[in-house]
Amino acid sequence: MPPLKTSALLLAAVCTSSLLSAAEYKPLEDPRRPIATTKSVPPNEAPAKMTLPPGFHAQLVASEPDIVQPVAYTIDDRGRLWVIQNTNYPVCPGEPKDKIIIFEDFGPDGKARKSTVFYDKLTFATGIAVGHGGVWVGAPPNLLFFPVKDGEDKPAGEPQVVLDGWGNEDTHETLNDFTWGPDGWLYGTQGIFTFSNVGKPGAPASERQKLDACVWRYHPLKKKFEVYSEGASNQWGVDWNDWGQACFEACVIPHMWQCIQGARYQRQAGQHPNKFTYEDIKTIADFEYEKRAYCGAMFYLGGQWPAEYRNTFFFNDIHMSKMRNEKIVREGSGLKSERRPDFLVPNDPWYRGLSPQYGPDGSVFVNDWYDKVPCHQQRDYTDRSNGRIYKLVYGDVKPVQVDLQKATDAELVQDQLNANDWYVRHARRILQERGPKPEVQEALAKIVRENPDETRQLRALWALHGINGLTESLALESLKSAHEYLRAWTIQLVCEDGTPSAPLLAEMARLAKEDPSPVVRLYLASATQRIDVAKRWPILTALVSHADDANDHNLPLMIWYAAEPAVGADIAKGAELLANCRIPKIQEFISRRIAAAATANAQ
């Protein structure tokens, strides 16, 4: 569902927000101009009209009337599509009439020859994922879980409310685009003009998490919810490359962002929850497109397309009816985005592509909301009869028959080496579902220790973490690895619960002082935000001593976000930190924070 806001809706959101004042409100460019003046293209003719790079072609998987308004979908362990159709839009929650439909049995032409209605009483839903014994659905005010028995395509009971408190002020900015992260958490995004207060059903305010624009995550086994990073505008999706570096797109503000744990990004409006943020992280792109309304997030890791596309980032441009493609390159501690030629031009202004995802044969699906108008003005042009799903194919690819749930544990471990990350991700999650097993842990640890490819070591590390197999001894080994991303991710994983052991803390302090990699220092800054404030000082003291990090895109601010609570809690140690600091921006922020704390103490 296209995510830009009209001026009227923005103003309405302003009136309901405690974070945004009327003075901060700035009307947007009128989004009505791109309304299509041509007639819609019949579904069967649409693929042939599309312009794609040489060697590629599009196939029609499903279309109206079999599917309408396909706002979200996921791919299960058999390669089937589970699609949410949202005909309630723009009314939230609306009537219990929307469906989850399973599409399968894809022919040589890509067409789904079988469809099954899984559930037909949804209200307003915009996110879906399959795993851990059922189906996860985001339908404000709830994150729902539908239990499913093995071999059945119907709920095993009524949906369970896992979390509630999700807002719906802006129906383009609710919880959306669910993805299983490499660390075993369920990730999603939400936009800035929806105001949520999320917690378990019945939880008091003290046990809830307030959020607007953010990337969030939920752990299916630990039952833990948290904001992963905050700020930006209306992001719709997040994805990871081969090295576990994540990006998301955003609307209205600059479009491309690296997703860093604990980061605070430029906001479209309002203030950061922490008033001592002082400065936030900006875009990784130095260019813009004609319009600024985007959807979807995919690093292509399907293993079948030409090598030039691997680890490049794909998303849809709602207003311009295109699929964009950008090259993401290393710069300092993080990433930089470089523009590449548009990947898909449908030559149909009704195209409203949302989420690209690669499947088991390496081809890419994309759901098309398909509408005459791109954004909130759909309220004035209500037509809920359209919707398509396409498959973008390179060369002569045949559909793959697969059911990873039938694979042995050994086969799932071997899948961690597959060129198609679809197998890697699904196998990793299934191993997590099956739980800790010594022989699986041993096999994965062998890959971490012996495989020469850093990306394969990372895959095994993530899978080990998911089955509680990342021991302290292996973590300490990995922190001495020659591969910087392996060292970095080990830091993140051992600090997930905020309680790394004393030997690990000591090794983190050593790395903060001696490690030559700015990526490792970035992960240390992120992880330090999660540990006890009193235990942060050795790491912080080492991090602020690196004068070479002064102009890095991320490090001065990420280090500050970790240092700020410690400085506020102990002015004397804050002064010592200032004396050791070699990064001017952090020097300024420490001074400001000490002054603020001193003033507060004097009152």
Three-state DSSP at 297 gives strand
Q: What is the pLDDT of residue 36?
A: 76
Q: Mean pLDDT of all residues in the chain? A: 93
- Identify the three-state secondary structure at position 356: strand
pLDDT digits (tens, 9 = 90+) for 466-479: 999 999 999 999 99
Is the bond preceding residue 141 a cis peptide, omega within 30 degrees? yes
Residue 4: is its pLDDT beyond 70?
no
What pLDDT was estimated at residue 74?
98
Nearest to 289 by CA among 357, 241, 340: 340
The pLDDT of residue 14 is above 60: no
Per-residue pLDDT band at 269 (split at 50, 70, 90)? very high
> Does the pLDDT value for residue 130 go beyond 80?
yes
Residue with tokens 């197998």: 423
Residue 161 is which amino acid?
V
How far from 177 is each of 127, 180, 327, CA to CA, in Å? 5, 10, 22
- Residue range 574-584: average pLDDT? 98
Quick one: pLDDT at residue 30?
Answer: 40
Check whether 179 has a pLDDT greater than 70.
yes
Whether the per-residue pLDDT at 20 is higher than 60: the answer is: no
Longest dimension (CA), the chain: 75
pLDDT given for residue 131 in this prediction: 98
The whole-number pLDDT of residue 13 equals 34
Least trusted range by pLDDT, from 35-39, 46-50, 498-502, 526-530: 35-39
Spatial separation of the C-alpha atoms in residues 227 and 494, rounded to whole Å = 18
pLDDT of residue 7: 33
Q: Is the pLDDT of residue 21 over 60?
A: no
User: What is the pLDDT at residue 407?
Assistant: 98
Which domains are seen in the chain, by residue range? 7-394 (2.120.10.30), 410-602 (1.25.10.10)
Asked if the model's pLDDT at residue 59 lies above 50, the reply is: yes
Residue 480 burial (CB count, 10 A):
12
Would strands 214-219 and 186-190 be described as parallel, antiparallel, or unpaired?
Answer: antiparallel
- pLDDT of res. 376: 65
Tell me, yes or no, if the pTM score tops 0.85.
yes
Q: Is the pLDDT of residue 241 over 60?
A: yes
pLDDT in tens, 413-449: 999 999 999 999 999 999 999 999 999 999 999 999 9
Share of the chain above pLDDT 90, in %: 89
Residue 177 φ then ψ, to 5°: 50, 65
Confidence of residue 220 (pLDDT cuts 50, 70, 90): very high
pLDDT of amino acid 3: 40
The pLDDT-based confidence of 378 (bands split at 50, 70, 90) is: low
CA dist 315 and 67 (Å) reads 22
Average pLDDT over residues 565-587: 98
Structure token digits, residue 365: 């699906």
Higher-pLDDT residue of 321 and 11 is 321
Instruction: Provide φ and ψ at 479, rounded to 5°.
Output: -70, -10
